[in-house]
Each structure stands twice: as C-alpha cells, then as structure tokens.
C-alpha cells in the first residue's frame, strides 16, 4: 500500500522493521533478548548466518535495508525512489518467508 501511495520512505521503514522484528524473534528463540539494532543484526549474522541456517545473501538484504532505512529516516535531502523501495520491500518479503519457514521446520510452528 505504501508503494502504491508513493510513500517510499515509509515503505522502506516498514520493510526494514519487518526484518528487524523477525530477527528479534530468531534471537529470542535461542535465548538472546535484545532490541538494539546493531546487536540484533550482529546476533543474526553470528548465530544464524555463520551457522548456515540463513545465507550471506539474506544478511546482505538485512544490512542494505538497515542502511536505506537510516538514510531515508534521518537524511532529509536523501531522495528515495520506487526502485529502491521495491527492492527493500521484496527482500523483506522473502526474508519474512524464510524466517517463517525456519520456525516451521525447526519448531513445527506456523502450520
């Protein structure tokens, strides 16, 4: 909906946060409680990418979304276009699917 309304900054923000909260759930599933962005991302990389549960490509999606979210939220004169917002959105959508599949396969959740 945000993409359709040309709210590209808001779309990037919400796309990133879907990834962020998914990573918080992953961290929590292994007993790590955190809410700091850098710690959530580093925990994902260390515990889930390095172990092979997720790929380096998945990590790149997260890092790119985080960077674009910071730019679009905090740099007033940074232009955000449809291509950037769509890329982050589609990567976030794929990321969320991977997290859901991980929980389904690991814990038999989300039938």
Contact 16, 66 (CB under 8 A): yes
What would the pLDDT profile of 61-87 be if each residue is shown by its tens digit? 999 999 999 999 898 888 899 999 999
**pTM for the complete prediction?**
0.93
Q: Does 23 fall in a domain? A: yes
- Spatial distance between the Cα atoms of 68 and 86, rounded to a whole number of angstroms: 12
Distances (CA, A) of 19 to 26, 58, 61, 70, 78: 10, 10, 9, 14, 22
Within a domain: residue 75? yes
Q: What is the pLDDT of residues 11-46, one digit of tens each?
A: 999 999 999 999 999 999 999 999 999 999 999 999
Q: Is residue 79 part of a domain?
A: yes
Tell me the CATH number at 19: 1.20.120.330
Lowest mean pLDDT among 20-24, 74-78, 93-97, 103-107: 74-78
Q: C-alpha distances in angstroms, 87 versus 26, 47, 64, 65?
A: 23, 25, 10, 9
Q: Domain limits at 64?
A: 8-107
Structure-model confidence comparison of residues 89 and 78, the more confident one: 89
Helix axes of 8-29 and 56-74: crossing angle, nearest 10 degrees? 130
**Residue 2 forms part of a structural domain:** no
Q: Reply yes or no on whether the pLDDT at 110 is more than 80.
A: no
């Amino acid at each position: 909906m945000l993409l359709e309304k040309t709210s590209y900054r808001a779309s990037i923000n919400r796309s990133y946060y879907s990834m962020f909260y998914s990573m918080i759930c992953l961290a929590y599933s292994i007993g790590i409680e955190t809410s700091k962005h850098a710690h959530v991302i580093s925990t994902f990389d260390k515990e889930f990418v390095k172990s092979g549960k997720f790929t380096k490509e998945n990590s790149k999606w997260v890092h790119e979304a985080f960077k674009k979210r910071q730019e679009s939220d905090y740099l007033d004169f940074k232009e955000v276009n449809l291509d950037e917002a769509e890329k982050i959105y589609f990567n976030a959508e794929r990321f969320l699917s991977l997290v859901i599949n991980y929980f389904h396969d690991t814990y038999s959740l989300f039938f």
